[in-house]
Amino acid sequence: MTDINISDLPEEYRELQTVVREFANEVVDPVSYQHDKDHSFPYEIVSGMAEMGLFGLPFPEEVGGMGGDYLSFGIALEELARVDQSVAITLEAGVGLGAMPIFHFGNDAQKEKWLPELTAGTKLAGFGLTEPGAGSDAGATRTTAVEDGSDFIINGSKQFITNSGTNITSLNTVTAVTGERDGKKEISTIIVPTDTPGFVAEPAYDKVGWNASDTHPLTFADCRVPQENLLGERGRGFANFLSILAEGRVAIAALATGAAQGCVDESVKYAKERTSMGRAIGEYQAISFKIARMEARAHTARLAWMAAAARMAKGLDFRKEAYIAKLVSSEAAMDNARDATQIHGGYGFMNEYRVSRHYRDSKILEIGEGTTEVQLMLIARGLGL
């Protein structure tokens, strides 16, 4: 694969784009505003995505996947996020943050137990890294897992955890301090099933955006899980999560690109319909130039995430490209949402309009899965600075 324009990709990618776009327009869009208004989790949409096989897109068939790659996954995320970011992040987190840690680091027994339902989309999993005082700073992790016989006893808390408290959430994978190594905290990754006594998904957050996405703080009070729930090598928990985040940044960049493109699409439509002084507002240069810049941002963001996905598919180091894609696409989404809201005028301030929801939703794209500042730091480091 040398060309990264969707129109020139193999037919299976274009067919996937068409199918997901139809699903987004015909199934997601009609209920998007109501779920946002009610802060309700879209179980019926998740079920529909599961039936389509979207949760299994980047996984091999032997673990219940569809045999695709992150390019196909990103295309699906783009089309969903164009209409509803809450739905898109539910899929993105369910795959990239829920199932991927078990796929990459789980042993055969763990994969056999957990992956089939996760790749089928009938169950979801959370990714428990962030704490009230720790995120990208691993040394600040305070959640502990103390050995007791053949078990770990986990105490601590996590926050901002997506897909962690739904009715179909089966587990949360968490980082915890399991000891000390060379004078530093030994951080490991442990699977905590949601029915574990002492585990509580606290009441959902009242968020600015992504209102139909499930997000909770988590508490662990003497949660006892068998040591066989250790995921991957002991002491490699934070390193493993960083590798998961690198892949996740490609996916979140695709999602952000979809949001940016959705703002373009809505603005073009509105600019052709809305008239002022006897002319469609799209005929005025102030509006048409603004939309042209929006399209340029979305196009650039798409090239960036697809370039990262292409390197990933070839087994090449894609981390720098992922950082750039995350940076460029999240800023494109936020800038396009602001401009689209301005173009829509008073209607852009009404939640019934898709652009207003993009305006609220897009800000988190510059924060979640690595802030803009973290991406800049990582890109600079890659340049030897």
> Which DSSP helix (H) or strand (E) runs through 359?
helix 354-362
Residue type, 197: P
Residue type, 65: G
- Classified as helix, coil or strand, 113 is helix
Separation in Å, CA 184 to CA 131, 177, 272: 18, 10, 61
Active-site residue identified among 79, 366, 369, 373:
369
Is 17 in contact with 75 (CB distance < 8 Å)?
A: yes
In angstroms, the CA 284 to CA 123 distance is 50
Beta strands, E only, the chain: 124-128, 144-148, 151-162, 169-181, 184-193, 199-201, 215-226, 275-276, 279-280
- Kindly state the tokens that stand for 365: 């794209």
Burial class, 63, CB count within 10 angstroms (exposed 0-12 / middle 13-18 / buried 19+):
middle
In angstroms, the CA 30 to CA 252 distance is 24
In angstroms, the CA 179 to CA 254 distance is 38
Q: Is 369 annotated as catalytic? A: yes
**CA proximity to 324, closest of 314, 336, 309, 340:** 309
In angstroms, the CA 215 to CA 153 distance is 24
In angstroms, the CA 130 to CA 172 distance is 12
In angstroms, the CA 328 to CA 348 distance is 24
**CA proximity to 374, closest of 298, 323, 332, 334:** 323
Name the DSSP letter for residue 203: P
In angstroms, the CA 212 to CA 380 distance is 35
Pairing of strands 124-128, 184-193: unpaired
Catalytic residues, by residue number, are 369
